[in-house]
Amino acid sequence: MSPIAAGPSTAPAAVLCGLAGWVPSRVVTNEDLARRLDTDDAWIRTRTGIRRRHVVEPGQATSDLAVEAGRRALVSAATDRVDAVVVATTTPDHTCPATAPAVASRLGLAGVAAFDIGAVCTGFVYGLASAAGLIAAGVAERVLLIGADTYSTIVDPLDRANAIIFGDGAGAVVLRAGHPDEPGAVGHFDLGSDGAHEDLIMVAAGGSRQRSGPGEPSRQDRHFAMRGKEVYRHAVTRTAESARATLSRAGWKTDDVDHFVPHQANLRILHSVADDLGLPRERCVTHVESVGNTGAASIPLALADAAAGQVIRPGDRLLLTAFGGGLTWGSCLLTWPELPAPGHPYDLHDPHDPDDYDPYDPYDPYDQGERTTS
């Protein structure tokens, strides 16, 4: 039997039509950390590029950040309805159930499909691929994708290696069904994993492996652990390989990329990957200095920050790439669409409420207001 010739794909593409970010109001500076850890501001900035990070207040959970970022993304997309809510997170509110259904309910979206994605820091890119699949399959016309993490709840506050790196936050996008050639269409994905190295980034306790074993977990096993030097090597290699594979599939050259938007792990990794790809460092979108590593939230937060500052503009060609525990990695491409200018993720007042004014200037390192921890 002769094979049936495949015609042009008629499946709709996922097109980005809304964007927002949100971080909690509590700010922890390098100086704050130096008061309890054997470190100082210069040591932290030299190794990570981070100056401060935002962390949740006691009792605040990942869903609280996800709901606020999601609400703002829906406003950005000028819609109050989607067909699915996807939450990428490593720090769900509960081991069971997933966080996404509760987020959907609190956003007035009860009844829609809702599920979590657990790919650690690659979660947002995996989420984009999942949302694109829902739209291509005709399951959903619109999807709200949220990357949200509260790493301060799983990192040991006395662990100098990790406490300096991570912050909390949420970023969200709305994706709608559209044409693959229009601005905002997300495509040409590359996703991968290597579970043989799962122990490089891990919270050992809390899952079925630990719970089915004898005895109680140690304090160390209850907290996030990462073998930094090995992670650095894998992150640079895997991310660069994934980025190259994605560019090749699209027929793009490195020079075609206007902005490189990597997972905001730390500044050294970001610059190393850019150098490996032959991309000028000034094309690398970064905001890790202001929020730290926010896990699955880092790419949408970086996009919201860059869009608010008009660093990225309509028509710019973007390469997104991430690496996380699992190990997992992934990349994708898009041409930036025309969107309403989002507020800066650090701008903690509601732009739709004129009575809610916050004079905080995120670019003034001395303006910490009343939110700096003591």
Q: Which of 10, 288, 242, 272 is nearest to 125 (CA)?
A: 242
How far is it, in rounded angstroms, from Cα 201 to Cα 228?
9
Residue 340: how many CB atoms within 10 A of its CB?
Answer: 14
Residue with tokens 């905002």: 184
Tell me if 318 sits within 8 A of 341, measured CB to CB.
no
Q: Quick one: CA dihedral 357, 358, 359, 364, positive or negative?
A: negative
Q: Residue 318's Cα: distance from chain center in Å?
A: 15
Of 121, 162, 259, 287, which residue is the catalytic one? 121
Q: How far is it, in rounded angstroms, from Cα 178 to Cα 315?
A: 17
Annotated catalytic residue, options 263, 266, 284, 344: 263
| Cα(144)–Cα(71) distance, integer angstroms | 10
- How many Cβ atoms from other residues are within 10 Å of residue 366's Cβ? 5
Residue type, 344: H
Stretch (H or E) spanning 274: helix 267-277
Cα-based distances in Å from 257 to 252, 331, 347? 8, 13, 29
Question: Does 349 participate in catalysis according to the annotation?
Answer: no
Q: Is 121 a catalytic residue?
A: yes
What is the spatial distance between Cα 85 and Cα 189, in angstroms, rounded to a whole number? Answer: 20
Taking CB atoms within 8 Å and a gap of at least 24, the contacts of 3-6 are none
Of 54, 188, 293, 332, catalytic: 293
Alpha carbons 64 and 146: distance in angstroms, whole number: 12
What is the helix (H) or strand (E) element at residue 228, kind and residue range? helix 228-250
Rounded Cα distance between 124 and 296, Å, is: 5
Give φ, ψ of 89 to 5 degrees: -160, 150
Report whether 154 contacts 223 (CB < 8 A). Answer: yes
Active site residues: 121, 263, 293
